[in-house]
């Protein structure tokens, strides 16, 4: 179910999101728990990169003339 949610939420055409998707898919297909845990670092790094990029988009949108609170 989580894999399906990620498929729906991530845009595989964007490089950062594709990297995150690839890592999660790799983890999903590993058999041993230790092998999955060994991928925690790259998973966190990829997730942080996606969140940083998305936060940058939000900040740019909020600074635009189109987004004016109270109007």
Tokens of 31: 């058999």
Structural domains in the chain (count): 1
Decide if 47 contacts 17 (C-beta within 8 A): no
Decide if 18 contacts 12 (C-beta within 8 A): yes
Listed in sequence order, the DSSP H helices in 1-71 are 2-9, 15-29, 33-38, 40-63
Q: Is residue 13 part of a domain?
A: yes
The single-letter DSSP state of residue 24 is: H
Residue 60's Cα: distance from chain center in Å? 19
The 10s digit of each residue's pLDDT in 4-46 is 888 888 999 999 999 999 999 999 999 999 999 999 999 999 9
The 10s digit of each residue's pLDDT in 39-66 is 999 999 999 999 999 999 998 888 886 7
Decide if 35 contacts 51 (C-beta within 8 A): no
Confidence of residue 68 (pLDDT cuts 50, 70, 90): low
Q: Is residue 34 part of a domain?
A: yes
Q: Is residue 28 part of a domain?
A: yes
Return the pLDDT at 63. 84
């Amino acid at each position: 179910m989580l894999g399906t949610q990620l498929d729906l939420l991530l845009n595989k055409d964007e490089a950062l999101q594709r990297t995150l998707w690839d890592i999660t898919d790799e983890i999903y297909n590993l058999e041993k728990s230790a092998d999955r845990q060994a991928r925690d670092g790259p998973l966190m790094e990829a997730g942080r990169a996606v969140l940083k990029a998305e936060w940058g988009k939000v900040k740019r949108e909020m600074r635009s003339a189109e987004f004016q609170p109270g109007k």
